[in-house]
């Protein structure tokens, strides 16, 4: 009898699992590995939860996963960004105008033309029907034209950002940040801002939005009408159709701010589900480094060896001084290092970053300040030296320097002496490690894991529709949201009322202050 009940319960559970499984399309046209790490983690999490996941990206899975299908491989459709940026090249991104311009044009408008590929057109014109798609997940960064897939398939769209919200993202989800105390991705600093800080935040916020809209509006609308549907709305209206936005953010990263239910913070999602392991040779080296390891990388795009040779020589000279502490450096082309390496330094063309940072012997992380690496160091409680190069890295580094977990070094000032001082401070001063562990505790301590949170809201949107948690703020223009019309009305009423009062007072004063005019009696003549 007990066995029968158990079989019945398991059958019901399996049936419910099947009934609640959805078919989800993931479209990720930008070929940045650091971005894809977050997207891949989410899509794998959905597949493991039983959903049928189809993915279009530049990075097909190396190991097959049940329910996860790479249906279109975009690899080779544009130049590789992996290990392809030099220090000289990224220095061009140091201004807001250049950064927004590249995101909008090179990593936005250009990518929209991928929708014209033969495989893409087959999918667009003949989408699967057994079962059909229930949802589209796509990146919001530069190429927002892919949000239009929701219009074609008549399903809700979930947007995902591998960064914190860029200003043009907040503007189309009805969750505009208040620049008085919420810094944006281009503001160097944190939420404690003086007048000049607030002024700069406001100006950069609206400048970034205006420039992005100007550069993408007509181009991406035209692409959607050419490749998706001739009757599709303008890109700015299509953006507002998004049902849910997932952002790689957390209060520990950028401070506390109000958010609507349609904006879900998922920072740490790619860390908690990571299954990378250290290669045996590297694991043995890390295990034997009992005095500690310093890990140095400039991310998946920028080549450390593209630094000026004299600067590289100073860096390695500084590393030599901290022996017996060992140093692991990501160097893709070792032939670019024209001198003998110190005995305590190991270079590799590729390293599994998360297992390295998770290793108990790792003491310091030298990073360019990319959000992914910052989050991983935060998760594992590793103090950092930050050398920001472009984009949001300046803001990320500044924020964690203020938190007391990181020491900032500007690239132009990077020298042997400054690196010596920074390394000695982090290796000898326990305050940085203590702060890192405290912030790690705050980052990890959440009522629901980022993955479970993301999947819950994705399933919620599929069950309840695209409008179920969309903010009503999208119905209003910026001046209505700022209550300018209300303030103008109130001001007009006050002015009119005061004017009426003044006129009444003037009238009364004139009425009662007027001197009565009496005719003098004429004198009679006496005869």
CB 275 within 8 A of CB 354: no
Could you list the residue range(s) of the whole structural domain that residue 389 is in? 276-444
What confidence score (pLDDT) does residue 177 get? Answer: 84
Q: Are residues 87 and 166 in the same domain?
A: yes
- Asked if residue 513 is part of any domain, the answer here is no
Q: Residue 253 and residue 129: Cα distance in Å, rounded?
A: 42
- Residue 226, classed as helix, strand or coil, is helix
Q: Cα–Cα–Cα angle for 124, 25, 154, nearest 5°?
A: 55
> What pLDDT is attached to residue 188?
65
190 and 287 share one domain: no
Identify the pLDDT of residue 472. Answer: 86
- Residue 138 domain flag: yes
Q: What is the pLDDT of residue 68?
A: 97
Residues 143 and 64 in one domain: yes
The model's pTM is 0.88
Q: What is the per-residue pLDDT for 4?
A: 47
Inside any domain, residue 151: yes
Over the chain (527 residues), the average pLDDT of each successive run of 10 is: 43 45 97 94 96 97 95 93 81 79 94 97 95 97 97 96 90 84 74 82 90 96 97 96 95 88 94 88 95 94 91 95 96 90 94 95 96 95 95 89 94 94 96 97 94 97 93 86 92 96 91 65 58
Q: Are residues 211 and 291 in the same domain?
A: no
Question: Do 115 and 92 fall into the same domain?
Answer: yes
For residues 317 and 406, membership in a common domain is answered with yes
Question: DSSP letters of 27-77?
Answer: E-----HHHHHHHHHHHHHHHHTT-EEEEEES---SS--TTEEEEEE-TTS
290 lies in the same domain as 176 = no
> Quick one: 305 and 226 in the same domain?
no
Task: Determine, yes or no, domain membership for 496.
Answer: no
Spatial distance between the Cα atoms of 113 and 508, rounded to a whole number of angstroms: 74
Residue 377 lies in a domain: yes
Residue 295 backbone phi and psi in degrees, to 5: -110, 130
Cα–Cα distance for residue pair 482/478, rounded to 1 Å = 6
**Domain identity same for 452 and 440:** no
Do 183 and 75 fall into the same domain? yes
Q: Which of 395, 419, 444 is the last residue before a domain boundary?
A: 444
Residue 139 forms part of a structural domain:
yes
How many domains are contained in the chain?
Answer: 2
CATH number at residue 372: 3.40.50.2000
Alpha helices in 351-483 (DSSP H): 353-358, 371-380, 393-403, 416-428, 430-444, 450-464, 478-481
- 89-98 own/partner pairs: CB under 8 Å, 24+ apart: 90/301, 90/302, 90/389, 90/390, 91/389, 91/390, 93/389, 93/390, 93/391, 94/390, 96/186, 96/204, 96/207, 96/208, 97/211
Domain assignment of residue 321, yes or no: yes
Whether 336 is covered by a domain: the verdict is yes
Does residue 385 share a domain with residue 297?
yes
313 and 283, same structural domain? Answer: yes
pLDDT in tens, 472-491: 888 888 888 889 999 999 99
């Amino acid at each position: 009898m007990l066995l029968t009940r158990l079989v019945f319960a398991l059958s019901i559970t399996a049936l419910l699992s099947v009934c609640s499984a959805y078919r989800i399309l993931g479209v990720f046209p930008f070929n940045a590995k650091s971005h894809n790490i977050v997207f891949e983690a989410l899509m794998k999490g959905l597949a493991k939860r039983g959903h049928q996941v189809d993915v279009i990206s530049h990075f097909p899975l190396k190991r097959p996963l049940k329910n996860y299908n790479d249906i279109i491989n975009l690899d080779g459709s544009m130049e590789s960004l992996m290990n392809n940026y030099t220090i000289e090249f990224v220095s061009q991104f140091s201004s807001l105008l250049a950064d927004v311009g590249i995101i909008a044009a090179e990593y936005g408008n250009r990518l929209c033309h991928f929708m014209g590929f033969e495989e893409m057109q087959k999918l667009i014109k003949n989408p699967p029907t057994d079962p059909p798609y229930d949802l589209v997940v796509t990146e919001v960064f530069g190429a927002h034209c892919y949000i239009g897939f929701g219009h074609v398939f008549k399903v809700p769209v979930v947007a995902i950002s591998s960064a914190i919200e860029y200003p043009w993202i907040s503007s189309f989800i009805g969750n505009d940040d208040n620049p008085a105390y919420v810094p944006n991705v281009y503001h160097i600093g944190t939420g404690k801002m003086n007048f000049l800080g607030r002024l700069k935040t406001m100006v950069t916020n609206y400048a970034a939005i205006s420039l992005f809209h100007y550069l993408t509006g007509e181009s991406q609308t035209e692409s959607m009408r050419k490749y998706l549907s001739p009757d599709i709305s303008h890109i700015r209206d299509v953006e507002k159709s998004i049902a849910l936005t997932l952002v790689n953010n957390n209060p520990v990263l950028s401070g506390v701010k109000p958010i609507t239910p349609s904006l879900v913070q998922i920072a740490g999602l790619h860390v908690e589900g990571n299954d990378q392991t250290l290669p045996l040779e590297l694991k043995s080296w890390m295990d034997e480094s009992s005095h500690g390891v310093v890990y140095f990388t400039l991310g998946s795009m920028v080549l450390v060896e593209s630094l000026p040779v004299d600067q590289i020589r100073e860096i390695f000279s500084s590393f030599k001084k901290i022996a017996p502490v060992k140093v692991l450096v990501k160097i893709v082309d070792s032939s670019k290092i024209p001198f003998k390496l110190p005995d305590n330094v190991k270079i590799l063309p590729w390293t599994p970053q998360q297992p390295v940072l998770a290793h108990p012997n790792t003491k310091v992380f030298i990073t360019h300040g990319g959000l992914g690496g910052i989050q991983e160091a935060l998760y594992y409680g590793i103090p950092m030296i930050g050398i920001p190069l472009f984009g949001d890295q300046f803001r990320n580094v500044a924020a964690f320097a203020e938190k007391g977990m990181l020491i900032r070094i500007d690239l132009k000032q990077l020298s042997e002496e400054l690196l010596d001082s920074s390394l000695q401070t982090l290796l000898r001063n326990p305050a940085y490690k203590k702060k890192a562990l405290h912030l790690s505790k705050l980052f990890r301590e959440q009522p629901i894991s980022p993955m479970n949170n993301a999947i819950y809201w994705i399933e919620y949107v599929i069950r309840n529709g695209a409008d179920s948690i969309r903010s009503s703020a999208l119905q209003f223009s910026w001046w209505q949201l700022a209550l300018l019309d209300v303030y103008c009305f109130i001001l007009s009423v006050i002015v009119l009322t005061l004017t009426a009062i003044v006129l009444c007072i003037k009238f009364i004063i004139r009425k009662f202050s007027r001197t009565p005019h009496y005719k003098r009696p004429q004198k009679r003549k006496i005869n």
